Amino acid sequence: MDDKYKLIALDLDGTLTNDQKEISKDTLKYIIGIQQAGLKIALASGRPTHGVSHIARQLKLDEFGGYMLSYNGGKIIRCSDGKILANHCLDLDLIPVLYQYAKDAGQSILTYTFDAVITEDADHELVKHESFLNGNMPIRKVTDFVEAVVKPPHKVAIIGEKEPLDKIFAELVQILGQRINIYRSAETYLEIVPAQIDKGKALSFLLSELNMTPKQLIAVGDSYNDLSMIQLAGLGVAMGNATEAVKQCAHYITKSNNEDGVAHLIQKVFFHAEDKKTIDLEYFNSLMQNTLMSTLGIKCTHLSEGRVEATMPVDIRTRQPMGILHGGATLAFAETLAGYGSVFLCDENEIQVGMQVSGNHISSAHEGDVVRGVATIVHKGRSSHVWNVDVLTGTDKIISSIRVVNSIIKRR
């Protein structure tokens, strides 16, 4: 097992749990397994502690010494003995202000006690959903929200419609930006926590407590409130269902929460199940939707260490007016294959960028043909990869021979 990483931080909704808010048997098995091997788990969620606790028990974090980071990191609890390591709350004088903004916009507001959701709108569907997310946490209906909040809360949520919430978000940032942090965990949900509270800062504190460094951290998430911890981690991982902004910041994109993405990640990193020998090509090709590759009809058919094969049709997307394969499409095809190959060879903290493409067009392919590309690595260095790509017709007649140079750089 890989001993490079010591702590794994997992978001819950959209990450650890599937759309039915359940942890799959495979995911549970692998998380228990890595804890038995000595790794620590930190559940990092916007949920209140009540909504994280039953998940922590299911994962046996008390037995293995894991941690709960609830309220987006506002409260940190060591599960082995229940000790609170950090505890941050909103100032009480903020509650009337937040309440008034919600009511003026016709939206609902809620907060939490240790064991209940507090709101004036107990029948609101989003309030009921919040209760469900948190293990059917009881809802306590109050007649006066401001008077009912007698202790500084860890988090307040304003829920409702997208456009009013957009306006509230912008105005609260402007007038209270020095005192609060606001997260958009969903279009219908604003999370408001104390200033300087986010998952990344909470994990930085926990790493210091554990005498670990960010390089020893894996952080996995799917939404905007996960960005800070993904950017902090030595290995930041986005779920396949993550927002595009999260995917852009991640070192690695695993499968979706409905495809056991966390289990897939653990297999890859700790048990080397793929060991860079095989890859799910159907899944790999599905990641290329809405890109140049899907526009040109490029389909990867083989991907292994040092060798890539793919096909591309000669049709209206790739031909010249004369009905033969366009040379530019051929070069794009070749650069794509070399890019796939370099990505496959890169470590988690590396990315590849194209640096040079040069080719010789020897023959032609006609509309209706499907050309095949074969890329083989010529040089694999620490800072560059050089690939030779041959493009052939369906009858294996060579069309073009192309050299591609990729630069390999470390992620910042």
3-state secondary structure the chain: CCCCCCEEEECCECCCECCCCCCCHHHHHHHHHHHHCCCEEEEECCCCHHHHHHHHHHCCHHHHCCEEEEHHHCEEEECCCCEEEEECCCCCCHHHHHHHHHHHCCCEEEEECCCCEEECCCCCHHHHHHHHHCCCCCEEECCCHHHHCCCCCCCEEEECCHHHHHHHHHHHHHHHCCCEEEEEEECCEEEEEECCCCHHHHHHHHHHHCCCCHHHEEEEECCHHHHHHHHHCCEEEECCCCCHHHHHHCCEECCCHHHCHHHHHHHHHHHCCCCCCCCCHHHHHHCCCCCHHHHHCCEEEEEECCEEEEEEECCCCCECCCCEECHHHHHHHHHHHHHHHHHHHCCCCEEEEEEEEEEEECCCCECCCEEEEEEEEEEECCCEEEEEEEEECCCCCEEEEEEEEEEEEECC
Give the pLDDT of residue 348. Answer: 66
Give the pLDDT of residue 411. Answer: 67
Q: Which of 179-188, 292-301, 331-340, 368-377 has the lowest mean pLDDT?
A: 179-188
Give the pLDDT of residue 279. Answer: 75
Give the pLDDT of residue 90. Answer: 96
Q: Other CB atoms closer than 10 Å to residue 91's CB: what's the count?
A: 11
Give the pLDDT of residue 135. Answer: 84
Residues classed as catalytic: 335
Give 383 or 335, the one with higher predicted confidence: 335
Give the pLDDT of residue 346. Answer: 84
Give the pLDDT of residue 381. Answer: 85
Of the chain, the percentage scoring pLDDT greater than 70 comes to 97
Give the pLDDT of residue 50. Answer: 92
Cα-based torsion angle of the residue sequence 332, 336, 338, 341 in order, rounded to the nearest 10 degrees:
-170
The mean pLDDT value for 78-105 works out to 96
- Integer Cα distance of 252 and 92 in angstroms: 41
Closest CA to 110 of 138, 87, 68: 138
Average pLDDT value for the chain: 92
Residues 27-58 pLDDT 10s: 999 999 999 989 999 999 999 999 999 999 99
The mean pLDDT value for 246-259 works out to 91
Domains defined for the chain, CATH in brackets: 7-82+198-270 (3.40.50.1000), 93-194 (3.30.1240.10), 281-410 (3.10.129.10)
Give the pLDDT of residue 274. Answer: 47
Residues 196-212 pLDDT 10s: 899 999 999 999 999 99
Q: Strands of 370-380's sheet, edge to edge? A: 299-304, 307-313, 370-380, 384-392, 398-410, 350-361
pLDDT at residue 278 tops 80: no
pLDDT at residue 410 tops 80: no
Give the pLDDT of residue 272. Answer: 60
Whole-structure pTM value:
0.66
- Whether the CB-CB separation of 181 and 89 falls below 8 Å is answered with no
pLDDT at residue 114 tops 90: no
Give 4 or 13, the one with higher predicted confidence: 13
Give the pLDDT of residue 276. Answer: 47
